[in-house]
A and B are shown apart, each in its own frame.
Chain A
Amino acid sequence: MNLLFGLSPFLAVGVGALLLMLAEAFGKPNVAPGVETTDAGAGRAGELALGAAVILVIGAVLSVAVWVAGPESLPELTQVAPHLVIDKFTLFFSFTLCVGGALAALLAGGYLPEHGIDRSEFFPLLLLSTVGAMALSAAGDLLTLFVALETMSLGVYSLIGLRRGSPRAAEAALKYFLLGSFAAAIMLFGLALLYGATGHTDLAGIGAAVRSIGSPGSTVSAGKILISLVLVLVGLAFKVSAVPFHQWTPDAYEGAPTPAATYMAVAVKSAAFAVLLRVLLVGFGDERLASWGAGWPPALAVLAVLSMTVANLVAGRQESVKRMLAYSSIAHAGYALVGVVAAMRSPEAVSAVAFYLLAYTVSTAGAFGALILCGSRGAEAVSYEDLAGVGKRHPAAALAFSLFLFSLAGLPPTAGFFGKLYVFRTAIDSGLYTLAILGLVNSVIGAYYYLRVMVYLYMREPAPGAPRAVTMRSGFVATALVAAAIFVLLLGMAPGFTLDMASGAALTAR
C-alpha cells in the first residue's frame, strides 16, 4: 500500500489520462442538430478541460501529500528505484508540472471552442504528456529518462499541430518534431556512450564509475565520459531551449494553439530542468566535472549568459506578443541555468531553481492566459497593436496581464521577484559574481519589453480605422488566471512556506 501511496501522483495522472481518453471516445458528440461528425468528443472541450484540470489538481495534491508524509518514511519506494526515484525533489517538480498542466488545460477549455479548434484529443494528450514529464523528473535511470522524455515530447508534437488547417501550425509541429527527434537522437547517442563507458544505466552507478576515474584498477575512460556529457547537454539544452539551441522556440510557440504553447513553456521546460539537475548532480557530480575550472559548469555558464542576453535583446524587437513571450521563456531558461551552475557548489541552488521554476510556471501560464483573453474568434490578439486600449475594454484581463508581466520582470511583490532573488543569491553565495551581475543587468533589459506590453494595454488607443480586437470572456480562462494570480501573489508575499518545501527538495551533488 505504501508503494501505491508513494506512486499515487503518477498513478492518478496516468489512470486519469486513460479514463479521460475513454470518456472522450465514448462521449456523445455535442454538436448543433444537423451537423455530421464522426468524432465522439466533438463539442465537449469544456467538460474534458474540467476533467483534465481536476485530475491534474488531484495529482498536485497527492504530490504534496506524499511530500508531507515524507518519501524517506516509505521504504517500499526503493523497489521502483532507480527507475523512478521518488524523493522530495521529484515531488516538488511533479507538483509544479501538475499545476502547469492544469493551468494549460483550463486555458484550453476556453481557447479551443472560442477559436473553433474542435479537437478533444487535446486533453488526453496533455495528461499523457504530463505523465511523461513527471516520470522525467523522477528518472534515476537512463532508460526511464529516455522513455519519459519521448512520452512527454510525443504528446507535445501533436498538440502543436492541432490546428490542422493552418500551414503555420503544420510548420511549427514539423519543425519541433524534426529538431526534437534530432536532439533526442544526439542525447540517445550520449546515453549509449555513457552506458558503454561505465557499464551502468542507473545515474548513481554512473556517478560512482565517474568518481573512480584515475583510481588504480578503474577502466572508465575519461574521454568517453566527456563526449557523452557534451551530447547529453546538447539534448537537454534543446529541451529547455537555451541559446544556441533555441531557434525552434518562437516558431513553435507562434504556430501552436496558445494553451499548447503554454504547456511547452512551463511543463516541458520544468521537467527538462529537473532531469538536467539530476543527471548533472548525480551522474556527473564528481568534483573534477562539477567545478568552475572544468566539466559542465563553465559550459552551462556560457549557455546561461547567451540565453539571457540574446533572448532579451531579440525579445525587445518582436512585433508579436506571442513571440516576445517565447523569447522571454528562453531568457528565463538562462536565469534558471545560472542556478544550475551554482548547484555545483551549493545544494541550496537546487531548491532555488525548483522555486524559480514554480514561480516561472504560474507567471508564464498567467501571461499566456491573459493574452488569450485579449482576442476572440477569428481575431487572436497577436501584435502589440491588438492590445491597445484593452485596459479600458477588459480591465480585468489587463490587470491580470500586468501582474504576470510584473512577475516575469521580477518586480516585487510577486513570485518572479523572489525566484530571481533566490537564484542570484545562491549564485553569489557560490562565488559566481559575474554570472549574478549579468543576470541582474539582463533582468533590467527584460523589464523593457514587459513594460512595453503594459504601455499598449493602458496608454495607447487603437489606431483610427484599425480593426479593434474584441476581447473574450471565459470562465475557464478566468479560473486559470485567478488561480495563477493567487500563486503569484502568495509566492511573492509569503514565499517562506514554499521555499521551505523547495529546500527539502535539494539534491546533493557528491
Chain B
Amino acid sequence: MQSWIPVLVYLAIASSVGVVMLGAARVLRVRARHVPPTRAATYECGEEPAGKAWIRFHPRYYLVALVFVLFDVETVFLAPWALATRALGGYAVVEMVVFVAVLLLGWVYAWRKGALRWQ
C-alpha cells in the first residue's frame, strides 16, 4: 500500500487546485452593480455565437476521425518501439514493417472507398 501514497498525494493536489481556483475567484471577484448585457454573453469581446451547439455533424467528420485514429495508433506503437529497436534487433524492424504495412492497407482502403473525398 505504501507505493500508492504518491498517487493519493497527487489526487489531493489535483483536486485542490480546481477547488482553490474556483474559490479564489469567488472571494476576490469585484461585484458590479449593473451587469451589462455584453458581459453576460458567451464571449465578452469575441465572436457573436450563432445558433446552438446542439447540431448535427456530418458523418464525414466521423470518417476523418477514424482515419486519424489509424495514424494515432500507429504513433502510439511506434514510439516505444523506436526506443527499444536497438535491443530487439532486426526481427523487430521486420515486425514493425509488417504492422505499418497492414495499417497502410487500411488507409488505402479508406482512400479507395472515398472516405477522404470532401464533397
Residues in A lying within 8 Å of B, measured CB to CB: 18, 21-22, 25-26, 38-40
In the assembled complex, which residues on chain A have CB atoms less than 8 Å from the CB atom of B108?
22, 25
Contact among A22, A39, A40 for B105, CB-based, below 8 A: A22
Q: Indicate with 1 or 0, residue by residue over B90-119, a CB within 8 angstroms of chain A CB atoms.
A: 000000000000100100110011100100
14 other A-B residue contacts (CB within 8 Å) besides A18-B105, A25-B109: A18-B102, A21-B105, A21-B109, A22-B105, A22-B108, A22-B109, A25-B112, A25-B113, A26-B112, A38-B113, A38-B114, A38-B117, A40-B112, A40-B113
- The residue of chain B having its C-beta at the shortest distance from the C-beta of A40 within the complex is B112
Bound complex: CA A38 to CA B114 (Å): 7
In the assembled complex, which residues on chain B have CB atoms less than 8 Å from the CB atom of A18?
102, 105
> From residue A13, how far is it (CB to closest CB) to chain B in Å?
14
> From residue B43, how far is it (CB to closest CB) to chain A in Å?
38
In the assembled complex, which residues on chain B have CB atoms less than 8 Å from the CB atom of A21?
105, 109
A to B CB contacts below 8 Å, 18 in the list: A18-B102, A18-B105, A21-B105, A21-B109, A22-B105, A22-B108, A22-B109, A25-B108, A25-B109, A25-B112, A25-B113, A26-B112, A38-B113, A38-B114, A38-B117, A39-B113, A40-B112, A40-B113
B interface, over-half SS: helix
Bound complex: CA A39 to CA B105 (Å): 17
- The residue of chain B having its C-beta at the shortest distance from the C-beta of A26 within the complex is B112
> From residue A302, how far is it (CB to closest CB) to chain B in Å?
38
Bound complex: CA A25 to CA B102 (Å): 15
In the assembled complex, which residues on chain A have CB atoms less than 8 Å from the CB atom of B113?
25, 38-40
Bound complex: CA A21 to CA B102 (Å): 11
User: What total of chain B residues lie within 8 Å of the partner, measured CB to CB?
Assistant: 8
Residues in B lying within 8 Å of A, measured CB to CB: 102, 105, 108-109, 112-114, 117
> From residue B106, how far is it (CB to closest CB) to chain A in Å?
8
A-B pair count, CB < 8 Å, reads 18
Bound complex: CA A22 to CA B105 (Å): 8
Bound complex: CA A22 to CA B108 (Å): 8
Bound complex: CA A22 to CA B107 (Å): 11
- The residue of chain B having its C-beta at the shortest distance from the C-beta of A38 within the complex is B114
> From residue B116, how far is it (CB to closest CB) to chain A in Å?
12
Most B-side CB within 10 Å, residue of A22, A25, A39: A25
- The residue of chain B having its C-beta at the shortest distance from the C-beta of A21 within the complex is B109
Bound complex: CA A21 to CA B109 (Å): 7
In the assembled complex, which residues on chain A have CB atoms less than 8 Å from the CB atom of B114?
38
In the assembled complex, which residues on chain A have CB atoms less than 8 Å from the CB atom of B102?
18
Bound complex: CA A26 to CA B109 (Å): 8
- The residue of chain B having its C-beta at the shortest distance from the C-beta of A124 within the complex is B109
Bound complex: CA A22 to CA B106 (Å): 9
In the assembled complex, which residues on chain A have CB atoms less than 8 Å from the CB atom of B112?
25-26, 40
In the assembled complex, which residues on chain A have CB atoms less than 8 Å from the CB atom of B109?
21-22, 25
Bound complex: CA A461 to CA B1 (Å): 75
In the assembled complex, which residues on chain B have CB atoms less than 8 Å from the CB atom of A39?
113
> From residue B114, how far is it (CB to closest CB) to chain A in Å?
5
In the assembled complex, which residues on chain B have CB atoms less than 8 Å from the CB atom of A22?
105, 108-109
In the assembled complex, which residues on chain A have CB atoms less than 8 Å from the CB atom of B117?
38
In the assembled complex, which residues on chain B have CB atoms less than 8 Å from the CB atom of A25?
108-109, 112-113
- The residue of chain B having its C-beta at the shortest distance from the C-beta of A27 within the complex is B112
Bound complex: CA A25 to CA B115 (Å): 12
- The residue of chain B having its C-beta at the shortest distance from the C-beta of A14 within the complex is B102
- The residue of chain A having its C-beta at the shortest distance from the C-beta of B113 within the complex is A25
Bound complex: CA A21 to CA B106 (Å): 9
- The residue of chain A having its C-beta at the shortest distance from the C-beta of B110 within the complex is A25
> From residue B113, how far is it (CB to closest CB) to chain A in Å?
6
Bound complex: CA A376 to CA B112 (Å): 32
Bound complex: CA A25 to CA B110 (Å): 9
Bound complex: CA A40 to CA B113 (Å): 7
Bound complex: CA A39 to CA B117 (Å): 13
In the assembled complex, which residues on chain A have CB atoms less than 8 Å from the CB atom of B105?
18, 21-22
- The residue of chain A having its C-beta at the shortest distance from the C-beta of B102 within the complex is A18
Bound complex: CA A38 to CA B108 (Å): 15
Bound complex: CA A22 to CA B114 (Å): 14
Bound complex: CA A38 to CA B112 (Å): 9
Bound complex: CA A426 to CA B117 (Å): 59
> From residue A135, how far is it (CB to closest CB) to chain B in Å?
15
Bound complex: CA A39 to CA B109 (Å): 11
Bound complex: CA A25 to CA B112 (Å): 6
8 shortest A-B CB distances, which residue pairs? A25-B112, A38-B114, A25-B109, A18-B105, A21-B109, A40-B112, A25-B113, A26-B112
In the assembled complex, which residues on chain B have CB atoms less than 8 Å from the CB atom of A40?
112-113
